[in-house]
Structure 1
């Protein structure tokens, strides 16, 4: 989840997030599915959540 990630990775992740949202999962569950747990740095988790809300 860093800024060093390529645009393709971001696009793939957004697509995956959109799929999981379609299944009606909450942000925290989607994060867990993508392997972003609270063990990951808090900042990365927040960045992820912001991205998830944009989908």
Structure 2
């Protein structure tokens, strides 16, 4: 995961399509939602991978 304190990945499911999206929050700012993913686990894994690669909000 990232070395930056306060960075985290959140996942949400949209009601209208039933698919999952992730967003990275850094310094209190939420980045754009990325997706869709078929499962919550897939969205979380993709978000954690992006965070580990240094991508942030």
Q: TM-score, normalised by structure 2?
A: 0.35
Q: TM-score, normalised by structure 1?
A: 0.36
| Structure with more relative contact order (C-alpha pairs < 8 Å, separation 6 or more) | 1
The structure with the largest helix share of the pair is 1
The structure with the largest strand share of the pair is 2
